[in-house]
Structure 1
């Protein structure tokens, strides 16, 4: 997701590689908080396909 965070980084957002869209991030958060009672999502790593670890 392109935000001002990248403005001061060497190479900017383009050097960071693939970005996840705001819509994909929102979909993921909605999925996590809409799990049924008794399901604990306590760790969630969200990154676009192809982004290095």
Structure 2
């Protein structure tokens, strides 16, 4: 039976870790350039403030 190649497994694990770190840094840079939440959260907050900004009409 063949013996496990621990060096290969370690290298693959290191490469995966490096790839994940690079992806995380890229995503962080994209968020920094594009703003928080890719513009979705501010739109939701704006809709809530617009709805709450108009006072209800009073029938008097």
If you compute each CA radius of gyration, which structure gives the higher value, 1 or 2?
A: 2
Which structure's relative contact order is higher, taking Cα pairs within 8 Å and 6+ residues apart? 1
* Alignment TM-score > 0.5, same fold: no
- The TM-score, its normalising length taken from structure 2, stands at 0.29
